[in-house]
C-alpha cells in the first residue's frame, strides 16, 4: 500500500511533515544547552523501534504499551495510536489492533535526554589508533537507555568531530576518570584480546568511609547483579556450599586517611558490574557518597519517563512522518526547542524524574596498563585529604 493511500484511509488531511532523527544523524554542537552546571540536550524527534515478543502477541497495541511501558499514561497511548505516532509495520492502525509475533512497532517520540554535569570531556592523548579522555562523572560512555547525545561518544563527535570511536572498557556512568577509545575496529580487537587474556591492569582510587586497614586487602566474593534493582550484592558460600553470582576479586591498598575518610587504591582483577563499589561495601568501608551501597536500604530512584526508551533495542529511520490532522501543532520554548503538545515531558528540558541534584561518585579510574603500554589520567580534587 502506497503512502498516499495509507493517508487517505487514515483520514489524514492538512498534514505537516517532520524529519525524524535516527542514529544516522550525528550529534552537533547546537544540540546542547548548558544551564546551571548541567549539560542538557535540546529535545528532538526520534523513532524508536521494537519487535513484538512472544509474550506481547495477542494484546491490543494500546494495552501492550500501557502494560509494558508504564512511563506514560494510558490516555497518551490511545492518542498516540490514533495520531499515528505509534505504528505497526509502518502502518497506522486502530486502537483495537491486536499485535502479532515479530511485527515491527514504531514509536515516534519527542525525545528528552537526562541532563549530565557540564564538565568538559578533556582529551588526554590523541594518537592515530587510540584516543584517551578524562570522563566526567554522570556522563555515560555510549548510547544506552535514555542517553544518546549526552554520552562521551556523542559529545566527542559533536565537539571534536571524532568518529567512529570504540570504547575498549567500561566505566559506570557515575564514575570518572580514564577512558580509552580505539579509533578503529582492529585496534579495539587488539585491546579486547589483551583484556580477555588477563594482561591488562586497572587502577582506581576511591574515597571511603572510615579508617581503611593499613595492610593490603584482597577481597574474593562473588558478585550477583540484579538488573531489576540496578544493583549488585557480594555473595559467599551458604551452608550447602553453594554461592550465587560470578567470581570476582579486587585488591585494595590504603593510600591515606584522616581518621574519618580514607583514600584507597583499588585494583580489580575481574570486571563485574559495580565490583569495586560492592567489594568496598563488603569490607565495611563503602564509598563515602555512594547512596546505592552506603546501606542495605536502596535509595529510591525515580524511573519516571524511562520506560518508553527501553523499547528501543534497535533504532530505525523514517525519512518523514505524516501527522494525523487531529495531532496538535508544535510550539517553541524560551530555549528555542519545539514544545510538543503530546509530549509528557514538555515544556521542561529534562525528562520527568530528574531533579538535577545528582553528583559523581568518589571513584576514579586513573591508570590502565598492558604489555608495552600505559595510559593515565590525573587525580580528581577529592583525592587529597587534609593533613
List, by residue number, the catalytic residues: 172
CB of 286 closer than 8 Å to CB of 297: no
CB of 278 closer than 8 Å to CB of 223: yes
CB of 330 closer than 8 Å to CB of 341: yes
Contacts for 304 with CB less than 8 Å, ≥ 6 apart: 71, 351, 352, 353
How far is Cα 241 from Cα 131, in angstroms, rounded to an integer? 45
Range list of H helices, 113-208: 152-160, 185-196
Contacts for 227 with CB less than 8 Å, ≥ 6 apart: none
| DSSP track, 268-310 | ESS--TTHHHHHHHHHT--BTT-TTTSSSSPPP---TTTGGGG
Cβ count within 10 A of residue 63: 17
Q: Which three cell numbers stand for residue 125?
A: 592523548
Q: Are strands 176-182 and 363-370 parallel, antiparallel or unpaired?
A: parallel
Q: Is 83 helix (H, G, I), strand (E, B) or coil?
A: helix
Amino acid at each position: 500500500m502506497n503512502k498516499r493511500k495509507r493517508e487517505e484511509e487514515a483520514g489524514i488531511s492538512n498534514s505537516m511533515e517532520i524529519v525524524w532523527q535516527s542514529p544516522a544523524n550525528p550529534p552537533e554542537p547546537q544540540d546542547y544547552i548548558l544551564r546551571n552546571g548541567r549539560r542538557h540536550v535540546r529535545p528532538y524527534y526520534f523513532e524508536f523501534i521494537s519487535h513484538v515478543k512472544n509474550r506481547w502477541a495477542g494484546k491490543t497495541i494500546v494495552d501492550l504499551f500501557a502494560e509494558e511501558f508504564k512511563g506514560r499514561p494510558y490516555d497518551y497511548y490511545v492518542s498516540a495510536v490514533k495520531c499515528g505516532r505509534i505504528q505497526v509495520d509502518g502502518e497506522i492502525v486502530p486502537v483495537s489492533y491486536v499485535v502479532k509475533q515479530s511485527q515491527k512497532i514504531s514509536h515516534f517520540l519527542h525525545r528528552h535526554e537526562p541532563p549530565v554535569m557540564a564538565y568538559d570531556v578533556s582529551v588526554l592523548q590523541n594518537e592515530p589508533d587510540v584516543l584517551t579522555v578524562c570522563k566526567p562523572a554522570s556522563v555515560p560512555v555510549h548510547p544506552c537507555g535514555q542517553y544518546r547525545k549526552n554520552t562521551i561518544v556523542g559529545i566527542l563527535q559533536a565537539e571534536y568531530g571524532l568518529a567512529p570511536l570504540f570504547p575498549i572498557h567500561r566505566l559506570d556512568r557515575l564514575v570518572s576518570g580514564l577512558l580509552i577509545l580505539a579509533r578503529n575496529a582492529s585496534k579495539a580487537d587488539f585491546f579486547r584480546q589483551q583484556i580477555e587474556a588477563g594482561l591488562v591492569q586497572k587502577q582506581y582510587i576511591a574515597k571511603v568511609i572510615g579508617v581503611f586497614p593499613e595492610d593490603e586487602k584482597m577481597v574474593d566474593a562473588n558478585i550477583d547483579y540484579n538488573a531489576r534493582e540496578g544493583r549488585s550484592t557480594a555473595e559467599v558460600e551458604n551452608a550447602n556450599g553453594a554461592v550465587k553470582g560470578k567470581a570476582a576479586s579486587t585488591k585494595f591498598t590504603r593510600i591515606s586517611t584522616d581518621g574519618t575518610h580514607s583514600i584507597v587504591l583499588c585494583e580489580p582483577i575481574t570486571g563485574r558490574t559495580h565490583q569495586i563499589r560492592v567489594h568496598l561495601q563488603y569490607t565495611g568501608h563503602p564509598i563515602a557518597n555512594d547512596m546505592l551501597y552506603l546501606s542495605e536500604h536502596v535509595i529510591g530512584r525515580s524511573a519516571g519517563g524511562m520506560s518508553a526508551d527501553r523499547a528501543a533495542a534497535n533504532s530505525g529511520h523514517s525519512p518523514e512522518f505524516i501527522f494525523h490532522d487531529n495531532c496538535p501543532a508544535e510550539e517553541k520554548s524560551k530555549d528555542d526547542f519545539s514544545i510538543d503538545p503530546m509530549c509528557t515531558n514538555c515544556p521542561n528540558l529534562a525528562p520527568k524524574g530528574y531533579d538535577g541534584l545528582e553528583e559523581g561518585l568518589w571513584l576514579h579510574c586513573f591508570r590502565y596498563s598492558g604489555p608495552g603500554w600505559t595510559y593515565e589520567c590525573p587525580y580528581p580534587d577529592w583525592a587529597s585529604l587534609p593533613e
